[in-house]
Amino acid sequence: MANTNIKGRKEILTDNIVRDYFKQFEKDVIIEQQSSDNIVIDKLLKNASKKGLHKGYPDFIIQYKKDGNFLIVIENKKDKNFHESVSHKQYSDYAVDGVLLYASYLSKSYDVVAIAVSGTEEDDLKISHYVQLKGEPKAFKYFSDKLLSPDEYYKGLNTSEEKKRQDYDKLLDYTRDLNTRLHKMNIDEAERCILASCILLALRQKHFKEYYKTEENQSILADTMISDVMSWFKKSNVGNEKIQTIESKYSTIRGMFAKESSHNHLRDLIMDMEENIDDFEKTNRYYDVLGQLYIAFLRYANTSNDLGVVLTPSHITEFFAEVAGVNKNSIVFDNCTGTCGFLIAAMSKMIEDAKGDIQTENSIKSKQLIGIEKGDKMYCLAASNMAIHGDGKTNIFLDDGLNPPKIAQIKKMKPSVGMLNPPYKADKKNDVEELEFVKWNLEALVEGGTCVAIVPMQCAISTKGKIANLKKELLQKHTLEAVFSMPDELFYNSDKSVVTCVMVFTAHKPHTEDKETFFGYFKDDGFEKRKNLGRIDAHGKWEEIKAEWLYLFRNRKEVSGKSVMYHVTDKDEWCAEAYMQTDYSTLTDEDFIRKMTDYAAFLVQNN
């Protein structure tokens, strides 16, 4: 309990205010004052004295009963003049300095919310909040200047951009390790994602989640896993053709674990994925984990079957949803859905907008997400991925996204938003043009609907041949609202070197002669290449950059070097570079050399 004799009388008043506030939440938390019965906490604080000589404790340590990885620590001062120093190193004299010291020790094993409280009047306290994530070297300021509930702290921490970025970095690390592990298990690259999807779905089944830990025979375990997942799919009424397709793909898993073995490799793998991926999804509910795994596995696959497969990075799928203005009433359609990355990003925005309305959430998942996928393997992943995220699988169709009867069927469902990344041409002469997929996506949308598509830059700059004819056809029926030139190495994680742009259309409203289109030069998304991790948001720049991009687009702002408004026809190039004025005063010799090199590489890649 509190060692109150070492505190001044007024400081005890501050302690009482804080203690009384958090006591109302005792059903959710364990509150300890100036000590801890937790052995791990006690050990971490053995050298945390403010004087640097011996063990030290904050005024309060609060543990969250539902999650042992999360702590709140609080340091109090009676005098608001001693709330925070400039240096943050006067640990014994200032509340902020002291609580940050304790957080630095405890963050070796915990995510920590550090709270500094100063003052003796309940309605006149000075309060500062910081968060230091597990394993991170520094704390960052977060939350408001008022005390919140432990649940609000927990949710706030786990939805912070810093936490998401840390979780994402860990996921990237794990996908690389998982790929290496599956390689050592002699599981073919093309089948690794099928196995992963089945495991993640099986872990959603309550019976299997307990059963797998005790089954010694991996062949029997594989059989049971497939059986449990397929039983769940059959109960969900997704249709016989889809069931047969999914079952045929999952059946290959039996062969992976058919050999007798003294060690249950499958059980170890499931346990490992439960710890690293299932836990990730608890705090990152609508994130396309399966798509991320597919990208990781794809980098090691060199089969012709994978040509043209370029999965969109998650920060861009989220950007699409915001560009399209997706909300709880949207009906979203992707006619080349891949692993359903766009639909999952849309689902996240729609569920957020539903604000906890269960009926609306059920409608979103069962009726408002529509996808078409032609490849049976990719279809299996798409249906599984939507199932992993709660539902939506019933409106994922195994068909050709250019099939007029199927598009007519989708049209009756009245989609209002189209989002797509069409398969990129491997054969320059004979493959389907990417804009064909855009054309048929637009055809399915309601009048005034929004289509957002990411396509090779060649689709924007070509002024003759098939592409020019498609551009003409698009403008005759629909309005070209915007084109964004995207980062050159956007698809680096998919091991593809295609230069892309994003096109935004309004459906079934012809492009008028006086219409000006917004062109954005969005080449820098803040992501950087890192060994083994690919392109990542290493410095947390993306959220600020995304906000600027959206501001420029929504308000049709012209900013030198970033955006321009210009009237174009089908005979023009649809890219910012063609119309934007350059601020030459900022250019260096290095910029010139780099751009010339990039242009030479572009010419070679595009013949």
| Residue 96 lies inside a defined structural domain of this protein | yes
pLDDT at 444 exceeding the cut of 90: yes
The confidence score (pLDDT) of residue 168 equals: 76
With cut-offs at 50, 70 and 90, classify the pLDDT of residue 284.
low
pLDDT at 6 exceeding the cut of 50: no
CB 221 within 8 A of CB 261: no
Instruction: Supply 112's token pair.
Output: 């920590």
Question: How far apart, in whole angstroms, are the C-alpha atoms of residue 585 and residue 588?
Answer: 9
The confidence score (pLDDT) of residue 1 equals: 37
Q: What are phi and psi of 73, to 5 degrees?
A: -125, 140
| Residue where one domain finishes, among candidates 122, 140, 158 | 158
> Within 10 A of 19 (CB to CB), how many other CB atoms are there?
16
Helix locations, 206-264, DSSP H: 206-211, 218-235, 240-250, 252-256
pTM over 0.85, yes/no: no
245 and 194, same structural domain? yes
CB 88 within 8 A of CB 79: no
323 and 403, same structural domain? yes
12 and 154, same structural domain? yes
| Positive or negative: CA dihedral 79, 81, 86, 92 | negative
Q: What whole-number percentage of the chain has pLDDT above 70?
A: 90
The confidence score (pLDDT) of residue 303 equals: 43
Question: How far apart, in whole angstroms, are the C-alpha atoms of residue 230 and residue 254?
Answer: 14
How does pLDDT run across 148-174, given as a tens digit for each residue?
999 999 989 888 878 877 887 788 788
209 and 249, same structural domain? yes
396-398 vs 369-373, strand pairing mode: parallel
The confidence score (pLDDT) of residue 9 equals: 52
Residues 6+ apart with CB under 8 A from 74: 18, 58, 59, 60, 62, 99, 114, 115, 116, 117
CATH number for the domain that contains residue 125:
3.40.1350
| Residue where one domain finishes, among candidates 142, 158, 174 | 158
Q: What angle do CA 433, 434, 440 make, to 5 degrees?
A: 100
- Summarize the confidence of residues 62-67 as an average pLDDT: 91
25 and 146, same structural domain? yes
Residues 6+ apart with CB under 8 A from 430: none
Q: Tell me which DSSP letter residue 227 carries.
A: H
pLDDT at 126 exceeding the cut of 80: yes
CB 230 within 8 A of CB 288: no
- Summarize the confidence of residues 390-396 as an average pLDDT: 72
Instruction: Supply 22's token pair.
Output: 């958090």
93 and 36, same structural domain? yes
569 and 514, same structural domain? yes
pLDDT at 16 exceeding the cut of 80: yes
| Residue where one domain finishes, among candidates 136, 158, 180 | 158
Among the residue ranges 137-141, 189-193, 399-403, 482-486, the one predicted with the least confidence is 189-193
CB 551 within 8 A of CB 327: no
CATH number for the domain that contains residue 539:
3.40.50.150
Residues 6+ apart with CB under 8 A from 529: 489, 492, 535
pLDDT at 463 exceeding the cut of 80: yes
Range of the domain at 396: 312-421
| Residue 591 lies inside a defined structural domain of this protein | no
497 and 473, same structural domain? yes
| Residue 598 lies inside a defined structural domain of this protein | no
Among the residue ranges 51-55, 129-133, 234-238, 370-374, the one predicted with the least confidence is 51-55
The confidence score (pLDDT) of residue 320 equals: 97
360 and 240, same structural domain? no
409 and 482, same structural domain? no
- Which of 380-389, 450-459, 573-582 is modeled with the greatest confidence? 450-459
CB 22 within 8 A of CB 29: yes
| Residue 409 lies inside a defined structural domain of this protein | yes
How does pLDDT run across 217-244, given as a tens digit for each residue?
999 999 999 999 999 888 877 778 888 9
The confidence score (pLDDT) of residue 254 equals: 93
Question: How far apart, in whole angstroms, are the C-alpha atoms of residue 285 and residue 367?
Answer: 20
The confidence score (pLDDT) of residue 516 equals: 97
Residues 6+ apart with CB under 8 A from 66: 28
Among the residue ranges 299-313, 322-336, 392-406, the one predicted with the least confidence is 299-313
Burial track 65-82 (b if 16+ CB lie within 10 A, e otherwise): eeeeebbbbbbbbbbbeb
Residues in the chain: 607
476 and 492, same structural domain? yes
Instruction: Supply 538's token pair.
Output: 């290493």
| Residue 296 lies inside a defined structural domain of this protein | no
Question: How far apart, in whole angstroms, are the C-alpha atoms of residue 74 and residue 62?
Answer: 8
**What's the burial of 186, exposed, middle or buried (CB within 10 Å: 0-12/13-18/19+)?**
exposed
What separation in angstroms does the CA of 80 have from each of 50, 120, 143, 422, 551?
A: 19, 9, 19, 59, 40
Kindly report the average pLDDT of the chain as a whole number.
88
With cut-offs at 50, 70 and 90, classify the pLDDT of residue 50.
low
| Residue 476 lies inside a defined structural domain of this protein | yes
pLDDT at 3 exceeding the cut of 50: no
| Residue 606 lies inside a defined structural domain of this protein | no
The confidence score (pLDDT) of residue 491 equals: 86
Question: How far apart, in whole angstroms, are the C-alpha atoms of residue 343 and residue 95?
Answer: 46
With cut-offs at 50, 70 and 90, classify the pLDDT of residue 307.
very low
The confidence score (pLDDT) of residue 314 equals: 87
Among the residue ranges 375-384, 544-553, 575-584, the one predicted with the least confidence is 575-584
pLDDT at 483 exceeding the cut of 80: yes
pLDDT at 4 exceeding the cut of 50: no
- Summarize the confidence of residues 201-213 as an average pLDDT: 91
Count of structural domains, the chain: 4
pLDDT at 250 exceeding the cut of 50: yes
The confidence score (pLDDT) of residue 223 equals: 95
CA–centroid distance for 76 within its chain:
37
The residue that leads in pLDDT, 376 or 452, is 452
| Residue 46 lies inside a defined structural domain of this protein | yes
How does pLDDT run across 414-427, given as a tens digit for each residue?
999 999 999 988 76
Helix locations, 299-449, DSSP H: 314-323, 341-354, 358-367, 376-388, 404-411, 434-444
316 and 244, same structural domain? no
